[in-house]
């Protein structure tokens, strides 16, 4: 099992998770523990714009961190069952002690295992797979290989979507994006980078994603009303960068 020094800090009402460095691995606003504090985590939930509810029924998270994505899905998508694969048992303990990770094994199952091995060895399928796994040096290791991405593809349901957090400042960033594109036969979408340097990639191999601008806005407004998550800036960014050909987003 991977083990590293884990630190927790607080500033201006926000609690942060660090792995052996000042680099932030996760964050929680103490007064809003189920909200998504970091911008890239909000963009990872943009899949809610691409499918009609009650999607997703089954979500898989590779990498727990502070539990932000798991908590958001647990709190705001009550019909969704969540599996989280985390390589370091210490991370689960810290998430429960300091970041209010719910204890509900019927809906939120934590598996302590290597994420790459978990994907390669099983056959259970999921509607939404979210990959956000890095070590203390911001390396994804086997989680950025072609076999891993191919395994992710095999684990997606017919309506399944894969969302991956890439660090834009990392060497080999474009090569990693190209591997995702290869694994999904070109059906991937590389979002514009966040101000933090994170870049989110979405991919699918099943039902096409074809969503009009008006549908995106309508779903974003509904999401904001239901959960407080505002994805309208994401849509505006995609439109500004000309990701919507003929006012439609396609994957």
* Residues classed as catalytic: 132
- What is the Cα–Cα distance from 13 to 37, expressed in whole angstroms? 11
Q: What values do phi and psi take at 202, rounded to 5? A: -110, 145
Q: What 8-state DSSP symbol labels residue 12?
A: T
Bridge pairing between strands 58-62 and 81-86: parallel
For residues 229 and 180, give the distance between their C-alpha atoms in angstroms, rounded to a whole number: 27
């Amino acid at each position: 099992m991977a083990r590293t020094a884990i630190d927790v800090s607080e500033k201006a009402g926000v609690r942060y998770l660090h792995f052996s460095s000042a680099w932030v691995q996760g964050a929680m606003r103490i007064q809003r523990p189920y909200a998504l504090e970091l911008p890239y985590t909000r963009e990872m939930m943009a899949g809610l714009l691409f499918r009609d509810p009650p999607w997703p029924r089954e979500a898989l998270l590779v990498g727990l961190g502070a539990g932000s994505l798991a908590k958001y899905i647990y709190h705001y998508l009550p019909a969704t069952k969540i599996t989280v694969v985390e390589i370091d048992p210490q991370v689960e303990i810290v998430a429960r002690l300091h970041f209010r990770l719910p204890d509900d094994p019927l809906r939120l199952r934590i598996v302590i295992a290597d994420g790459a091995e978990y994907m390669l060895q099983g056959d259970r399928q999921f509607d939404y797979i979210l990959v956000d796994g890095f070590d203390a040096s911001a390396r994804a290791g086997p989680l950025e290989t072609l076999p891993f991405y191919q395994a992710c593809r095999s684990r997606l349901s017919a309506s399944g979507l894969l969302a991956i957090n890439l660090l834009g400042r990392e060497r080999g960033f474009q090569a990693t994006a190209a591997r995702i594109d290869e694994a999904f036969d070109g059906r991937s979408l590389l979002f514009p980078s966040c101000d933090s340097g994170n870049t989110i990639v979405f991919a699918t191999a099943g039902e096409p994603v074809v969503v009009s601008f008006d549908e995106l806005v309508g779903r974003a407004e509904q999401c904001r009303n239901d959960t407080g998550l505002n994805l309208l800036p994401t849509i505006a960014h995609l439109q500004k960068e000309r990701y919507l050909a003929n006012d439609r987003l396609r994957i």
